[in-house]
């Protein structure tokens, strides 16, 4: 008597491989669509070097742009914590290497001060410096 056996060993691994490849392609397509959609709202950023020191006067800060992308920079605003410090410079737009004096109506308190410098660019305001400086 003769027995005939069919060899079906190769069918399941081939189908399994095709399914795994198909699932991988679908997942990559979904993830890339989500990631590409999330990057649409990102704007441009400007990297600007800033040096902030206390001026000769105990109520003044000197802010100097040391370099970077100042394209479209029209104005600087300085805050000591939540308090706005006024710009006493007559310069229309901040220039690299030219110190700008900011005057606090009161004497700046000796010790550490939390200073923020906000640049007004033609494409929107951006914080270009946040840090703590020691005042005399």
- pLDDT category at 5 given cuts 50, 70, 90 is low
pLDDT for the residue 20: 95
Name the pTM for this structure: 0.61
Q: Which fold has domain 48-135?
A: Immunoglobulin-like (2.60.40)
User: Across residues 11-20, what is the average pLDDT?
Assistant: 86
The residue behind tokens 């060899």 is: 7
Q: Give the integer Cα–Cα distance in Å for 131 and 79.
A: 11
Q: What is the longest distance spanned by two Cα atoms in the chain? A: 112
pLDDT in tens, 39-63: 666 667 788 889 988 877 777 888 8
pLDDT in tens, 84-113: 887 766 566 788 888 888 887 666 677 788
Residue spans per domain, the chain? 11-41, 48-135
Phi, psi (deg, nearest 5) at residue 128: -110, -10
Q: Mean pLDDT of all residues in the chain?
A: 81
């Amino acid at each position: 008597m003769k027995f005939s056996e069919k060899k079906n060993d190769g069918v399941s691994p081939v189908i399994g491989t095709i399914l795994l490849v198909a699932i991988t392609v679908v997942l990559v397509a979904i993830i890339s669509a989500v990631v590409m959609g999330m990057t649409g709202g990102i704007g441009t950023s400007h990297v600007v070097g800033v040096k902030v020191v206390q001026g000769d006067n105990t109520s003044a800060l000197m802010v100097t742009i040391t370099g970077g992308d100042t394209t479209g920079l029209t104005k600087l605003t300085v805050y000591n914590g939540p308090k706005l410090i006024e710009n006493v410079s007559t310069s229309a737009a901040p220039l690299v290497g030219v110190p700008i004096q900011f005057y606090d109506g009161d004497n700046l308190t000796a010790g550490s001060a939390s200073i923020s410098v906000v640049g007004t660019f033609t494409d929107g305001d951006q914080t270009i410096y946040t840090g703590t400086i020691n005042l005399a």
